[in-house]
Chain A
Amino acid sequence: AQRVTQPEKLLSVFKGAPVELKCNYSYSGSPELFWYVQYSRQRLQLLLRHISRESIKGFTADLNKGETSFHLKKPFAQEEDSAMYYCALRMDSSYKLIFGSGTRLLVRP
C-alpha cells in the first residue's frame, strides 16, 4: 500500500545548525510530493512542492525517485522555523493526499 514515512517524531537543533527532515514514500507510479507546515496556533499550510523546485523560507527539498525520498533541508535553522512539518504524497490521477505522521522541529536559541 502507498504510504509516507517520517521516521523522526521530534528533531531538536540549535539556531544556525543545518536541518534535514526525512521523508520516504512507497509508490511505484509518478508521485507528486509536498511539504506542509503547521506553526503554533496556525493552520496547516503548504511550504513547498517538488514540481516547483523552489526555495521557500530557505527550505529546499529534492525528489529522489531512486531512493523514494523527499527530504526537507535548510542550511541554517532559525527559531521561527519551529513547527510541525508534514510530508504528503499525491498519486497520479488522484485527488487525495497521503500524509506522513509528522516531525516536530524545535530550534533552540
Chain B
Amino acid sequence: NAGVTQTPKFQVLKTGQSMTLQCAQDMNHNSMYWYRQDPGMGLRLIYYSASEGTTDKGEVPNGYNVSRLNKREFSLRLESAAPSQTSVYFCASMARDRGNYEQYFGPGTRLTVT
C-alpha cells in the first residue's frame, strides 16, 4: 500500500516549457487535490476533484490545468511554465466517506522554472 505517489520528484523547466505532474493513490479515495507550497504562504489549493469525473478550481488555478483520469489518478499540467510557478507541489487524497475528512499527502514535486 503505497498511499499517494507523485512523479517526478524534481524537475527543472525553462520558461515557456510545458509538463505534467502525475499523482496516483491506491486507497480508493473519492477526492483528490493539488497544492503548491511556498515559503511564508503555506499550502494553497490549485485544483481539486471532489469525485471521479469532476474538477474544480481552488485558490490559485491560473496557469494550470488538471485531469482526473480515473479514481486513482489526478494530473496537473503546466502549459507554459513561468518563474512564478517555481514551488513545491503536493498531491493529496481524501476518503470523504463516513465523515472521514483526513487528507493524505504525497511526497511532493520540487519544480524550478528558470
Query: Contact residues of A with B, CB < 8 Å?
Result: 6, 9, 32, 34, 43-46, 49, 86, 90, 95-102
Contact = CB atoms under 8 A, between A and B. Distances in A.
A34 B103 CA distance: 10
Contact of A100 (B35, B42, B48, B101): B42
A98 B59 CA distance: 9
Interface size class of B (residues with CB under 8 A): 20 to 34
Contacts of A101: 40-42
B42 A44 contact: no
> 10 tightest CB-CB pairs across the interface, nearest first?
A101-B42, A44-B105, A99-B43, A99-B42, A43-B105, A95-B50, A102-B42, A43-B107, A46-B102, A95-B31
24 contacts: A34-B102, A43-B4, A43-B90, A43-B105, A43-B106, A46-B103, A86-B42, A86-B43, A90-B101, A95-B48, A95-B50, A95-B101, A96-B33, A96-B48, A97-B45, A97-B101, A97-B103, A99-B35, A99-B42, A99-B43, A99-B44, A100-B42, A101-B41, A102-B43
Contacts of B31: 95
A99 B106 CA distance: 16
Nearest to A6: B42
A34 B92 CA distance: 15
Contact of A43 (B41, B45, B108): B108
B90 A44 contact: yes
Contacts of B45: 96-98
A9 B40 contact: yes
Interface in B80-96: 90, 92, 94, 96
Nearest to B102: A46
